[in-house]
Amino acid sequence: MKLLPIRCSFVSRSAICESGAQGGSLVVWVGFASLPNLMIFKRNGKVYMRLVTVVPYNIQWPEIFELENSLSLMTLGRVISKVHHIGSTSVPGLAAKPVIDILLEVTDLKELDRCNEKMKQAGYVARGENGIPNRRYFTKGEEQRSHHVHAFVSGDMQIAKHLAFRDYLINNKEVADQYAAIKRAAALESDNDIHRYSALKADFIANHLRLALLDLDL
């Protein structure tokens, strides 16, 4: 059964529940006044809460990426041109949410779409573009995400942006340390609202992505 996302809106510290139908599925909103956008999921009658956590760098993250890289290659085969470890877990020493971000360069998005069932068998949920044009986005893990896959056709500008920002952080430790501090503060201030967490980091990312792209003359 698919997990059902829940967005909270409240008037007191007591739980308020509403239900409705979206796409034939029952959606339930549950939450507390202090956590207005807490992401909660319901599966098999159980409610799960997805927390925003930033943890110290784990030296096993590169190994976890390599294991998933091998699985991706076996799952998708010739559709993949290149695989990259991106996101904060790809930057040595950087505190991060413990989710491995994987960037796939693919030959054709329509061909990748035909592999959705294979990705499902590998533990992923296909989420389409999910807000970014010409992307295919997959997630692994239910109440606790473990991997995100971002796929673009080789040559897409989003690939250059992801790699430029990663390499910029790797090569500028002081900036990476600032980013870690911002993420820790955002995790505390966001009250487990992933959208607020992202918004609190947005200005820093936009500024330093611009600098990273200038370094590459892009």
CATH number, domain of 153, equals 3.30.460.10
Q: pLDDT tier at 51 (50, 70, 90 boundaries)?
A: confident
For the chain, the domain total comes to 2
* 122 and 200 assigned to the same domain: yes
Give the whole-angstrom CA distance, residue 12 versus residue 6: 17
Q: pLDDT tier at 16 (50, 70, 90 boundaries)?
A: very low
Residue 122 located in a structural domain: yes
Angle at 135 between CA 134 and CA 139, to 5 degrees: 160
Q: pLDDT tier at 45 (50, 70, 90 boundaries)?
A: low
The 10s digit of each residue's pLDDT in 128-142 is: 999 999 999 999 997
Residue 102 located in a structural domain: yes
Helix (H, G, I), strand (E, B) or coil at 206: helix
The whole-model pTM stands at 0.80
What strand order describes the sheet that includes 4-6?
A: 4-6, 39-43, 46-50
Residue 55 located in a structural domain: no
- Tell me how crowded residue 79 is: count the other CB atoms within 10 A of its CB: 20
* 149 and 191 assigned to the same domain: yes
Residue 97 located in a structural domain: yes
* 161 and 124 assigned to the same domain: yes
Residue 124 reports pLDDT greater than 70 = yes
- The number of angstroms, rounded, from the C-alpha of 169 to the middle of its chain's C-alpha atoms is 18
Query: How long a stretch of residues is the chain?
Result: 218
- Domain encompassing residue 12: 4-50
* 94 and 114 assigned to the same domain: yes
* 95 and 181 assigned to the same domain: yes
